[in-house]
Amino acid sequence: MTRAVLALVRKDLLLELRGREVVPAMVTFVLASFVLFRFALGGDRLGGGVRAATGLLWVAVVFTAMLGLTRAFAQEREHGIWDGLLATPVDRAAVWLAKACSTFVFLVAMQAVALPLFWLFFLQEGDGPSIPVLIGALVLADAGIASLGAMLAGLASASHAREVLLPVLFLPFAVPLVLVGVQVSVATISPQTSALDTLQRLGFLGLYATIFALLGWALFEYVVED
């Protein structure tokens, strides 16, 4: 199973390196969002808008992730390759795990560009959120988004209305992620809350990722087999 997962992840990374369909689109989207947010929050002077900007960072992260997820199974769908994968004896959980791993890598790659941009656009004036906490929260959130998103993208890929279905399925589940992500990030802007609160919120993000990882692992077979 490990070999199959590694082979599928390698395949996704190679396809992205050659096709450049997902990460460049996500980076462009997040950059455009930051430009819009910057103007919406006051143009020249951000003032007290750092908290609002930190919240909007999470909104941008979730919408950007959704953009990537709509392409998660695009190759398999467009070229009928699902049939080829399903006719092999590979565990369906391995297909889910591989897609979750490659989605996680794409999200981290997008954020590696997005965070410096966020700093450039919003954190030049006054206090900002703790960068280590923000990175930790984003990594945990990415794990949750990838686990949940890979499962829902597989489910939506079987539908003719997949472009509509995926956001409808994904966004309600993403609400707690955004709420806690915003709380944990904003709380580190002075005046700060206790380290215990921060740890509890990071723990929630970890728990969220774990729950959807277990669900993806257990349910993906029923999601993709018709």
Partner 1 sequence: MSSSEAVRCRGLVRRFGEREALGGVDLDVGEGELVLLTGPNGAGKTTLLRVLATVLRPTGGRAAVFGSELPRSANPARRLLGYAGHEPLLYPLLTAAENLRLYAALQGVDEAAVGPALERVGLARRATDRVSNLSRGMRQRLSLARATLHGPRLLLLDEPVSGLDEEGRGVLRSLLGENGVTALVATHEPQWFAPMPARVVTLRDGRVQG
Q: What secondary structure, in 3-state letters, does the chain show? A: CHHHHHHHHHHHHHHHHHHCCCHHHHHHHHHHHHHHHHHHCCCCCCHHHHHHHHHHHHHHHHHHHHHHHCCCCHHHHHCCHHHHHHCCCCCHHHHHHHHHHHHHHHHHHHHHHHHHHHHHHHCCCCCCCCHHHHHHHHHHHHHHHHHHHHHHHHHHHCCCCHHHHHHHHHHHHHHHHHHHHHHHHHCCCCCCCCHHHHHHHHHHHHHHHHHHHHHHHHHHHHHHCC
Between 115 and 158, CB nearer to partner 1: 158
Between 155 and 180, CB nearer to partner 1: 155
Q: How far is the CB of 136 from partner 1 (least distance, A)?
A: 33
Q: How far is the CB of 94 from partner 1 (least distance, A)?
A: 8
Between 12 and 142, CB nearer to partner 1: 12
Between 122 and 217, CB nearer to partner 1: 217
Q: How far is the CB of 218 from partner 1 (least distance, A)?
A: 17
Contact 50, 91 (CB under 8 A): no
Q: How far is the CB of 210 from partner 1 (least distance, A)?
A: 27
**What is the binding site for partner 1 (CB under 8 A)?**
3-4, 6-8, 10-11, 14-15, 18-19, 75, 79-90, 225-226
Between 92 and 201, CB nearer to partner 1: 92
Q: How far is the CB of 25 from partner 1 (least distance, A)?
A: 16
